[in-house]
Amino acid sequence: MTRRISRFVAALSVIGAVAVVPAVPASAETADLVVGTGQFLGDGSPAFPGIELYVTARGGRPGEAASGRFSFRTENVAGVPNSRGSVTCVSVVGNAAVIGGAIEKSDTPTPDGFSGVIMEVRDNGEPGQTVDDQFNFFIVPNPVFSCPSPPFINGLVSVDRGNFVLHSAG
């Protein structure tokens, strides 16, 4: 009788464990992810402007396009309008990410009618750690649909307020 009870309990344990573990297809892959806001305060001068970047981006799985939104705001930067748009590509390597985007709306015309942006973000841990997160962006003639691997942009600025979080699918 004791043997039967212990077999029954063991069988229930196995059934319970199988019921708790969700089924995940073997082919399921994760995607690169970038989420956060970074604000660099600068001093308000054209030589040292304040800039802010907001991004939520997901790299496409094989056969899927990247998705997400971005916006950036600058203070006293000639030719760089406050803009927002959609994410076109994402590449995450370690703690760095390059994100491409298509500018859909700006408060003033973009330089030379440019419609793309390249952004780079570095996640250096939680705010208050020894090294702040970093970011920067620049406007390009057309949206980029195949992001280069980071590091890509020289001259990243440190985040004074905010936090970026990255996840690499690889």
| Mean pLDDT value across residues 72-97 | 86
Does residue 12 surpass a pLDDT of 90? no
Strand-pairing partners, residue 41, are none
Does residue 11 surpass a pLDDT of 50? no
In this predicted model, which residue has the larger pLDDT, 110 or 33?
33
pLDDT digits (tens, 9 = 90+) for 35-74: 999 999 887 676 677 889 999 999 977 778 899 999 998 8
CB burial class (10 A; 0-12, 13-18, 19+) of residue 163? middle
Most distant CA pair in the chain, distance: 85
Q: Which two tokens stand for residue 156?
A: 């990243």
Does residue 132 surpass a pLDDT of 50? yes
